[in-house]
């Protein structure tokens, strides 16, 4: 077998592809994967803010799905009392890691790591989606602080789980993908936080506002009374 291929598992590919696209979107070259059709439908993707949001959501979604995959493996290991749940050989063996009763649940609370990963990435997605919907809201800075602080806490958990793999003597490819997703999420959240109040953020706020007005027009058969006109109308009635 070619060196390194013993760690390859085809069922991991969907998670890796989504994660890779998300990470690429965070780079300066991220604009290359934003298709014209997407930009036409979502003008916010023309901004660095929009591309960062899109990249983060892809990364977080991949982290959520791979965490769900590891939770399935955990439950399967509990049901069967062991077994092989992924391709591997040599040092790569996710079954030996996820099926290890000494390390496969969080200390004290006893919750499977896959479930905690799903909850963490769901929280991160909620934070990012809420910011994308209302970038000018007063609570945006608070949400950014919550996201970055939880991300830092999660980094401690990632290091703990890497130590667990070292103690077991095996590497879990799916766990490592979840760890990579969390690291990328942490970098992306700090990048988003550093972008707050910049010209790009201000431009994104304007685009989000315009998109909201377009949605109103569609709901009201193509016409929304401008705010200025509404104010003048009220004054005339008085």
The DSSP string of 71-84 is: HHHHHHHHHHTS--
Q: What is the reported pLDDT for 43? A: 77
Nearest CA among 102, 86, 70 for reference residue 181: 70
Confidence check: pLDDT of 34 > 80 = no
Q: How many CB atoms lie within 10 A of CB 1?
A: 8
Nearest CA among 204, 59, 191 for reference residue 137: 204
Kindly give the residue spans of alpha helices, DSSP state H, lying in 7-112. 13-26, 36-41, 48-80, 94-98
Cα–Cα distance for residue pair 16/181, rounded to 1 Å: 9
Q: What is the mean pLDDT of residues 52-81?
A: 91
pLDDT tens, position by position, 148-170? 999 999 999 999 999 999 998 98
> For residue 92, which phi and psi values (nearest 5 degrees)?
-90, 115
pLDDT tens, position by position, 105-137? 999 899 999 999 999 999 999 999 999 988 888
Q: What is the mean pLDDT of residues 78-95?
A: 68
Residue 100 DSSP SS3: coil
Cα–Cα distance for residue pair 117/96, rounded to 1 Å: 19
Confidence check: pLDDT of 7 > 70 = no
Cα–Cα distance for residue pair 94/170, rounded to 1 Å: 7
Largest CA distance in the chain: 84
| Token pair belonging to 116 | 């905690």
Higher local confidence (pLDDT), 223 or 162: 162
Nearest CA among 116, 118, 140 for reference residue 128: 140
Higher local confidence (pLDDT), 188 or 74: 188
């Amino acid at each position: 077998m070619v060196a390194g291929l013993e760690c390859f598992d085809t069922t991991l590919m969907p998670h890796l592809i989504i994660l890779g696209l998300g990470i690429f979107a965070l780079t300066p070259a991220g604009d290359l994967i934003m298709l014209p059709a997407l930009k036409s439908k979502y003008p916010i993707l023309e901004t660095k803010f929009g591309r960062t949001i899109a990249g983060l959501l892809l990364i977080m979604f991949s982290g959520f799905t791979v965490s769900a995959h590891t939770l399935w493996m955990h439950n399967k290991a509990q049901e069967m009392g062991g077994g092989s749940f992924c391709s591997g050989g040599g040092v790569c063996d996710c079954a030996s890691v996820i099926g290890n009763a000494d390390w496969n649940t969080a200390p004290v609370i006893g919750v499977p790591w896959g479930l905690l990963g799903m909850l963490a990435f769901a929280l991160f997605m909620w934070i990012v989606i809420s910011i994308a919907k209302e970038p000018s809201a007063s609570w945006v800075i608070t949400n950014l602080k919550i996201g970055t602080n939880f991300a830092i806490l999660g980094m401690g958990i990632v290091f703990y789980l890497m130590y667990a793999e070292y103690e077991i003597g095996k590497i879990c490819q799916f766990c490592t993908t979840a760890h990579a997703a969390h690291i990328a999420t942490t970098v992306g959240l700090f990048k988003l936080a550093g972008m707050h109040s910049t010209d790009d953020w201000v431009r994104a706020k304007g685009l989000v506002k315009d998109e909201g007005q377009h949605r109103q027009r569609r709901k009201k058969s193509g016409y929304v009374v401008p705010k200025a006109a509404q104010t003048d109308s009220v004054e005339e009635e008085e």
